Amino acid sequence: MKLNKRVASVLATSIVFTGQLSCLYAKTYSPTNYAVLALASVEVTSTTPGAIGVDKAAPQFNSAWTEEKDGKTYLMISLNDPSGVNYVQVGGKYATLVSGDAVSGTYKCEMTSSGTYTISFQDKLGNFGSTSYKVTVKDKTSPTVDVWQTTKNSKYYLVIRASDNGKITKVTVDGTRITFNESGDTREYEVTKAGEYTVVVTDDAGNETTKNYKVSINANKPTLKVSKEYKDKKWYLIIKGEPTNSNKLSTLTVNSTKVTIASRGEEVTYEVSKSGTYKVVLQDDLNMESTESIYVDVNEIIDKEKPTLVLSQSKTANGAVIIITAKDNNQITELVVNGKVVSIAAGGGTVNYPVIQTGNYLVSVKDRAGNKEEKSIYIAIENKVQQVVKFKLNDRNWTKNGALQSPMDTPPAVIGQRTYLPLRQTAYALGINENQITWDSKNKEATIIDGSDVIKVKLNSNIMTVGSQTILMDGTAVSQNNRILLPVSQIAKAFKSKGVTVDWDNNKKEATITRTN
């Protein structure tokens, strides 16, 4: 390579030359290295001090700012340098050139947390510079939330556990705000009904987490039974509903129509006028529900013929019997005499109903279709007083028709402010033989056969049976001197077949038992 002109001088800070040159190679000194400069052909007309200078300045920092994009936060940095920027770091992390070039450009670096960061940069000649910048990264992390249920002291609770990388500012259950520790907490929220509850937790950056939880309270649904019945030429739904445990019934609907039902349950009759399927829904106060569907054809042909009923009477030693003969072309479901249900075969037949009092007796019979027939009969019974027995309190002596009798082994007594009579002695006085009275020591039960009636009395029980009838006494059978005693008021019930009445004279402390049959 040939120089057209001699280089006048080469200095550390500049190259000075004159004249025309086609190419010049020169070495210049920089603080870190030697660089070979290739100078293109130029026209130099005079000595030019400082024509080529050595770059000793760090890149120029212009500005920094943050940008949000696609849910991320970026730190943007603007720099320029004549020799070109070699790299830019933010907190030790390299930034990327996104616009411009190395001489003048903009760099970006993704930021994941807030803080004051050191921005360092270097140009291609090794010049280094730095500055600092405070970055605020918006929190985009929603709170962590867990929800479950628990039971304490027969009460039900939602348990809510929540935490966040910031602060928790609000917690609501179905819109109701509850107290919560801002640094995270576990709290219980009492619930009284089954169903879905919505829990919303919000942090200080506005991030929300929503949890829906379905609470199950008392998995036992209310009891529901639905049947249909044709009665009085109409169709009805017979709905039986009862709550479970200590719950209460709240709503009963038939095909979405609300029907009244007692909170503790009952049998409800619901008239239907159209054929179709009827959906019955029973719900309790904890929103537990039971459902049943039933089809009703209101045009179904139903038996409309009444049962036949024939009444007659016959005298007996103790009064009379009503002879009831009932028949039906289908099935008899009910026989009633003066309001008392009497057993009869479904296919009908004859029933003898004993009576001991004069009066009118109303007899009704009903078949499965609800057809009903009623008749009445008058019974006249001649009552004759056969004997009068008198017992005195705490006195073993007693009289029968005015005559003194052999002393009793156990006298009448006052027990618990009630006057009691010995059962066995009373039976003797009314003409019942000793062999008709038995004692079951194992079951602690006395049995007395009184004509067609069998009387059973159990020690320490307030229940007495006379034939097929169960009588709830107003006092319990007690034992004294190995004898069973009954309250005076219950003697007449025990020996009703004998037409027994009992009177108590409180002044004389005397019980009078009158037998008429």
The DSSP line for 36-91 is: EEEEPPEEE-S--TTSS----PPPEEEEEEEEEETTEEEEEEEEE-TT-EEEEEET
Strand partners, 399: 390, 404
∠ CA 317-320-324, nearest 5°, is 140
The residue to which tokens 């307030």 are assigned = 462
- End position of a domain, from candidates 354, 379, 404: 379
In the listed set 135, 154, 169, which residue is the last one of a domain according to the structure? 135
* Pair 409, 423: CB distance under 8 Å: no
For the residues of 428-470, what is the DSSP string, one character each?
Answer: HHTT--GGGEEEETTTTEEEEEETTEEEEEETT-SEEEETTEE
Q: What is the CATH number of the domain that holds 444?
A: 3.30.457.10
Indicate whether 230 belongs to any domain.
Answer: yes
Q: Is residue 301 part of a domain?
A: no
Alpha carbon distance 400, 254 (integer Å): 66
Both tokens of 421, joined, read 């009579």
Q: Are residues 182 and 231 in the same domain?
A: no
Q: Looking at the structure, tell me whether residues 487 and 436 fall in a common domain.
A: yes
Domain shared by 345 and 430, yes or no: no
β partners of residue 73: 68, 111
Question: How far apart, in whole angstroms, are the C-alpha atoms of residue 405 and residue 256?
Answer: 75
Residues 230 and 203 in one domain: no
Residue 493 lies in a domain: yes
Angle among Cα 204, 206, 210 to the nearest 5 degrees reads 110
Q: Global pTM?
A: 0.33
Residues 12 and 109 in one domain: no
CATH number at residue 284: 2.60.40
- At 74, which amino acid appears? Y
114 and 157 belong to one structural domain: no
**Which of 379, 413, 429 is the last residue in one of the domains?**
379
75 touches 89 (CB < 8 A): no
- Decide if 337 is inside a domain: yes
> What span, in angstroms and rounded, lies between the C-alpha atoms of 423 and 412?
10
462 inside domain: yes
Q: Give one DSSP letter per residue of 95-151, joined into a string.
A: -EEEEE-SSEEEEEEEE-S-EEEEEEEEETT--EEEEEEEE-PPP-PPPEEEEEEEE
Residue 481 tokens, joined: 């001197």
* Phi then psi dihedrals of residue 24, to 5 deg: -135, 130
Say if residue 504 is in the same domain as residue 416.
yes
Q: Are 169 and 245 found together in one domain? A: no
Task: Kindly state whether residues 44 and 88 are assigned to the same domain.
Answer: no
Strand 387-392 vs strand 372-379: parallel, antiparallel, or unpaired? unpaired
**Is the same domain home to 74 and 35?**
no
Q: What does DSSP say about strands 445-450 and 437-440: parallel, antiparallel, or unpaired?
A: antiparallel
The domain total for the chain is 6
Whole-number pLDDT of residue 34: 34
In 3D space, the residue among 437, 453, 439 whose CA is nearest the CA of residue 499 turns out to be 453
Range of the domain at 373: 308-379
Residue-wise DSSP of 245-268? TT--EEEEEETTEEE---TT-EEE
Same-domain check for residues 398 and 353:
no
Maximum CA extent, the chain: 177
Query: In CATH, what number is assigned to the domain containing residue 322?
Result: 2.60.40.1930
Could you tell me if residue 302 is inside a domain? no
Cβ proximity of 252 and 239 under 8 Å: yes
Q: Encode the chain (517 residues) as per-residue pLDDT tens digits.
A: 333 333 333 333 333 333 333 333 333 333 333 333 333 333 333 334 444 456 789 999 999 999 988 878 999 999 999 999 999 999 999 999 999 999 999 999 999 888 999 999 999 999 999 999 999 888 888 999 999 988 777 788 999 999 998 899 999 999 999 999 988 889 999 988 888 999 999 998 889 999 999 887 766 788 999 999 888 778 899 999 998 765 788 899 999 999 999 988 899 999 998 999 999 999 887 778 899 999 999 877 667 788 999 999 998 866 789 999 999 887 899 999 999 999 999 889 999 999 888 889 999 999 887 889 999 999 987 766 578 889 999 999 999 888 888 888 889 998 888 888 898 888 888 888 888 889 898 999 999 988 778 899 999 999 999 888 898 888 898 988 888 888 888 887 887 766 788 888 989 999 898 887 6
> CA 133 to CA 114: how far, in whole Å?
11
In contact, 426 and 410? CB cutoff 8 Å: no
Helix (H) or strand (E) holding 234: strand 234-242
Report the distance separating Cα 422 and Cα 411, nearest Å. Answer: 7
Q: How many CA atoms lie within 13 A of 392 on its CB side?
A: 10
Considering the domain boundaries, does residue 329 fall inside one? yes
473 assigned to some structural domain:
yes
How far is 426 from 485, CA to CA, in rounded Å? 10
**Tokens 């140009």 found at:** 123
* Residue 363 and residue 449 share a domain: no
